[in-house]
Amino acid sequence: MPIHVLNYERRSFLKLAGAVALFPLADLQAETSQNVDADLVYLLNDTHIGEKHPPDSPVPTHLRQVVNELLLRSTEPAAVLINGDLALLDGQPGDYRHLQKLLNPLFEAGIETHLTLGNHDNREAFYNILTEQKPEHPLVESRHLSVVETRHANFFLLDSLQKTMVTQGTIGNEQLEWLTRTLDEKRDKAAIIVAHHNPRLGGDPLHFPGGLIDSQELWNVLGPRSWVKAYIHGHIHDRGYASHEGIHILNTPATSYVANPDKSTTGFTMASLTAGGVTLTTRTSDPAHPWNGETKTLTWRN
């Protein structure tokens, strides 16, 4: 069962092993002194990596920026969550090969990195290339999902991919049944739901038609469970904060591109968790953008 309890001692060992291979012993202290912030999670989505981008395309560069920042930070996040639309258009194998190359430095550094799927992804091609992502025993047949446990919150990573190149998403009855059971088993800390598609609840109704078809069915599960605190999505290629029935709905920026650069921008989000809430820091691909470094602190419902 893919329940991921983050193991910081193992990561330190991997970093030390890598450092021994790459650097003289005299340099090891500097190279292995990085600490893991057990309360920090990086949130990315809509990477849209393709096998071949035009030479001047900024899309792969944006993902490289995030990876480079992670590797250069003196403190690492507990986990990196990349929330769907990993591939450029329709989930070609070459897209995932390129994505794997871009993410390999994170994998090799032992940084916990977890992926979900969106409407531009293809499960079969994804599993064929990123073979380590395929569970031996799926929690739900034909769905890619898992739970990532951190100190203050459990992240429930869902699969909202209905069909490749179909804009709308679904959770489906079988995944909802699994989620209901697993939420009830893990009520000791905040539950945060992560899925690519936006719900058709809260937020801007302009985006509801392309969102999650069974949003109400999902909220029938989430709403009554007071330990569910937030729902994180991408899909819209914008940033926004909303709520429904006390559950925060967080629309995080796309890493790849936006429809209207005058209204939004690309980047990622740093989520710093506490027992009572989260502080979200926006990091933008353009360091001069007004959003860069902006923070918003949210308090969990009781």
Length of the chain in terms of residues written? 302
Is residue 266 within 8 Å of residue 47, measured between CB atoms?
Answer: no
**C-alpha closest to that of 209 among 227, 228, 235:** 235
Would you write out the chain's pLDDT as a tens digit for each of its 302 residues? 366 666 544 454 444 444 333 334 334 333 434 599 999 999 999 999 999 888 889 999 999 999 999 999 999 999 999 999 999 999 999 999 999 999 999 999 999 999 999 999 999 999 999 999 999 999 999 999 999 999 999 999 999 999 999 999 999 999 999 999 999 999 999 999 999 999 999 999 999 999 999 999 999 999 999 999 999 999 999 999 999 999 999 999 999 999 999 999 999 999 999 999 999 999 999 999 999 999 999 999 99
What is the reported pLDDT for 22?
A: 38
Summarize pLDDT for 95-125 with one digit per residue, the tens: 999 999 999 999 999 999 999 999 999 999 9
The Cα 258–Cα 98 span in angstroms is 21
Distance set, CA 61 to CA 38, 54, 66, 82, 179 (Å): 28, 12, 9, 16, 35
| Beta-carbon contacts of residue 55 (< 8 Å; ≥ 6 apart) | none
What is the pLDDT at residue 21?
39
Q: In the CATH scheme, what is the code of domain 34-299? A: 3.60.21.10
| pLDDT of the residue at 54 | 87
- φ, ψ for residue 82 (rounded to 5)? -115, 110
Residue 214 to residues 55, 139, 174, 200, Cα–Cα distance (Å): 40, 20, 12, 8
Pairing type for strands 35-44 and 240-244 reads: unpaired
The first and second tokens of residue 296, run together, are 């918003």
Cβ count near 24 (within 10 Å): 9
What was the pLDDT predicted at 5? 63
Output the pLDDT for position 55: 84
Given CA atoms 264, 269, 274, 275 in this order, what sign does their dihedral have?
A: positive
- pLDDT, tens only, 267-289: 999 999 999 999 999 999 999 99
Longest dimension (CA), the chain: 59
Q: Contact at 8 Å (CB) between 194 and 209?
A: no
Extents of the domains making up the chain: 34-299
| Residue whose structure tokens are 């194998």 | 93
Pairing between β-strand 113-116 and β-strand 75-83 as defined by DSSP bridges: parallel
Per-residue pLDDT at 60: 96
User: Where does residue 94 rank: exposed (0-12), middle (13-18), buried (19+ CB within 10 A)?
Assistant: middle
Question: What is residue 287's predicted lDDT score, i.e. its pLDDT?
Answer: 96
